[in-house]
Amino acid sequence: MVLINQYSMLWFGVLILGVGVFLIVRKGYKPKYGLRLLGLAAVLVVAWMFLRPQKATTNEYVQLQVELGQGQAVLLELQSPY
Instruction: Give pTM, 2 decimals.
Output: 0.60
Per-residue pLDDT of the chain (82 residues; tens, 9 = 90+): 677 777 788 888 899 999 989 988 898 888 898 899 999 999 989 988 888 777 767 777 788 777 776 767 777 777 776 6
Distances (CA, A) of 4 to 10, 11, 17, 39: 9, 7, 17, 25
15 half-sphere exposure, CB direction, 13 A CA radius:
7
Domain residues of the chain, as ranges? 2-68
